[in-house]
Structure 1
Amino acid sequence: MKWTQLPLGPLQTNAYVIENEEKQALVIDPGSEGEALVKWLNEQKLNVLAVLLTHAHFDHIGAVDDVREAFNCPVYIHKNEQDWLADPSKNGSSRFFGAETISARPAETIIENEQTLEIGPFKLQSLETPGHSPGSVSYYLLEHSIVFSGDALFAQSIGRTDLPGGNHDLLLKSIHQKLLELPEDTIVACGHGPTTTIGNEMDSNPFLSGF
């Protein structure tokens, strides 16, 4: 398996593409630039099996329908944000000056609790990590020692909690009880910025001390 980080859109939101040797793929958080993203996926000769969303803020969902329509694949989202895709007032695209209003079709698959997701040859553990938003989910691939954390945990930072549904204490609880319990060598593929590791953030993230 290999994975690729693709920063997209004005906020440089990281989309991630996970693929195997047979060119089957998953796309996590296709946030923007749908036409360019679909073109890149086709150039790589990938067969996208599903789109996984860590949460439904506008900068993470802007290209959802483009990818879904191009590859006829389902979208996965947590139940607490299942109605955000179609609602610009909830996904935030109506709140930010200069942001394009975004509305996407409902997701085909609703994540209702923590579970193992088996999508084709891929096996991921969904971890409920609310706080940045009420339906934030992280996707953990145990066999490959990587977690896709969305906007919960960043290198040397954590997600903002001043948006509707945000909760600072809950975010810290999610990080400590779900993410920091993973092995220290686990790669953290963040929603924005560079990757890091669980060990690095345990040792030096200034937002996590004293919790």
Structure 2
Amino acid sequence: MQVFIIPVTPFQQNCSLIVCDRTKEAAVVDPGGDIEQILAQIKQAGATVTQILLTHGHLDHAAGAPELASALGDVPIIGPHIDDTFWLDSLTEQSARFGFGHAKAFAPTVWLNDNDTVQVGDYTLSVILCPGHTPGHVVFYSADLKLAWVGDVLFKDSIGRTDFPRGNHADLIHSIKNKLLPLGDDVQFIPGHGPTSTFGRERVHNPYLIG
């Protein structure tokens, strides 16, 4: 599998293009904006995007999904969990508040649940419900690649904010310690912002997880 990280929006959110080497089928994870930049990477990779995957409903992760889906021939938008409905419903308000221009509220083609799977070419991604940053936040995990797309749950040396509506710090820590870290110290993760890391490194060095 090829993975291309494409920083988008003024928040430099890590949108990802995931491409199956054999089939060239691909998915885009969290297209918050800068659609032309994402389309350029898709073209350069020679990929055929069959779906858009969303970890959660915040503006910088989800706002560009409808425009990108349309540009790609109305591919389905998959995720997040239905508990993030209120975030997707408020995208217009979010965009006005943060000066992102106009973003339309939408509902995904499919809501995801814990233990669902998503197929990208030859690769199966497991869906892990990880509430805390938002109530309907999901993580996509490839056991074959030992790689996870964690959105805003976990960062190198930090964790997701929980001061937004329906955020919950205890839920976030539980999600990290009981759902993500047990996947293995050697699992690399792509966060919503900033550099990649591994669960093992964060288990030992992340100040929010020690103790």
TM over 0.5: yes
What is the 5 A alignment of 1:20-169? 20-21=20-21, 22-71=23-72, 72-77=74-79, 78-88=81-91, 92-96=94-98, 98-169=99-170
Q: Which residue identity lines up with residue 159 of structure 1 in the other structure?
A: G
Query: After the TM superposition, which residues 3-22 of structure 1 pair with which residues of structure 2 at under 5 Å, given as runs?
Result: 3-21=3-21, 22=23
Q: How many Å separate the matches in 1 of 2:203 and 2:54?
A: 25
CA contact 1:34–1:62 (8 Å) conserved in 2: no
1:101: how far off? 4.0
Q: Retained in 1: the 8 A contact 2:11–2:60? A: yes
Deviation at 1:34, TM superposition (A): 1.1
TM-superposed deviation, 1:102:
2.0
Does the alignment pair 1:200 with 2:197?
no
Deviations 1:36-62 (A, max 9, x none): 212331232210011110101001012
Contact 1:65 1:104 in 2 (8 A): no
Matches within 5 A, 1:160-199: 160-199=161-200
The alignment partner of 2:46 has SS state of coil
1:90-128, CA deviations, whole angstroms, 9 ceiling, x for partnerless residues?
A: 7x33443x3334224321011133222235433111001
| 153-162 vs 70-79, which moves further | 70-79
Verify the 8 A CA contact 1:76 1:108 in the aligned structure 2: yes
Structure 2 unaligned spans of 5+: none
Q: Which amino acid aligns with 2:49?
A: V
Q: How many residues align?
A: 208
Contact 1:33 / 1:62 at 8 angstroms: preserved in 2?
A: no
User: How many percent of aligned residue pairs carry the same amino acid?
Assistant: 36
Give the gaps of 5 or more residues in structure 1: none
TM-score (norm 2): 0.92
Q: Is the 8 A contact 1:35 1:66 kept in 2?
A: no
CA contact (8 A) 1:25 1:48 kept: yes
Length-normalised TM-score, structure 1: 0.92
1:93 alignment partner, SS class: helix
Question: What amino acid does structure 1 have at the position aligned with 2:18?
Answer: I
Q: Which of 59-68 and 178-187 deviates more? A: 59-68
CA-CA distance at 1:88 after TM superposition: 2.6
Q: Which letter does structure 2 place at the counterpart of 1:180?
A: L
C-alpha distance after superposition, 1:15-73 (max 9, x if no partner): 01110123211110011101221233123221001111010100101221222112221
Indicate conservation of the 8 Å contact 1:4/1:16, yes or no: yes
* In structure 2, C-alpha distance between the alignment counterparts of 1:190 and 1:113, rounded to whole Å: 19
Q: Counterpart of 2:78 in structure 1: which amino acid?
A: Y
> As a proportion of its length, which structure holds more helix?
2
